Amino acid sequence: MTATTTPEADVPLIAGHPVLDFANTVAWRTDPKRSTERVTGPVAWRRWAAAAGLPAAPGTFAGLPALRATLWPVLDALVDDEPPPEDAWHALMEAIRRAREHATPQPVFPLTRRPSGPADALALHAEELLSDPALLPRVRRCEGPGCGWFFLDRSRGGTRRWCSSGDCGNRARARRHYARTRGRS
């Protein structure tokens, strides 16, 4: 899989879906000691949004961290095959409702809507993702310790385990190699 990296923000787009790539704009999300914001400031958000194929109007980035924080528990619940937390679910449904309200229907078929900004676009993409029975079982969370990045497993056998074979996958292989060679000495 070829990863795209956003200029200046240095955030790889490896998840296979804009909502999952958006959730991945924090590195080491599940390790509080290492957790790092990967996109900071309006310039970096604008570039990230452009790389992710989202509308990037000036001044439309303020709500993105809150939307991302709302998505995490919903996506975690999806991956863990549990019901989403009520507060996160209601906040996401409200974001989707607002996005529909603000989106401008386009005079083309099939009917499409032009979202007013990246938060609305992401909310509408979240609705599409969470409504797609073919994609839902393919949403995964990286097995790398502390990583927590989400991705769509598009592998033939549905066996993808890491956000990136060259990152968390490589670390896992190195740990296994170290354990094997340490056991020999």
Q: How confident is the model at residue 180 (pLDDT cuts 50, 70, 90)?
A: low
What is the CATH architecture assignment of 4-184? Answer: Orthogonal Bundle (1.10)
Residue 19 pLDDT greater than 80, yes or no: yes
Domain extents in the chain: 4-184
* More confident site: 96 or 171: 96
Q: Please name which of 53, 43, 1 lies closest in space to residue 22, comparing C-alpha atoms.
A: 53
Q: How confident is the model at residue 159 (pLDDT cuts 50, 70, 90)?
A: confident
Q: What is the pLDDT of residues 131-142, one digit of tens each?
A: 999 999 999 999
Residue 59 pLDDT greater than 80, yes or no: no
Can you give the pTM of this predicted structure? 0.84
The predicted structure's pLDDT at residue 120: 93
The predicted structure's pLDDT at residue 55: 87
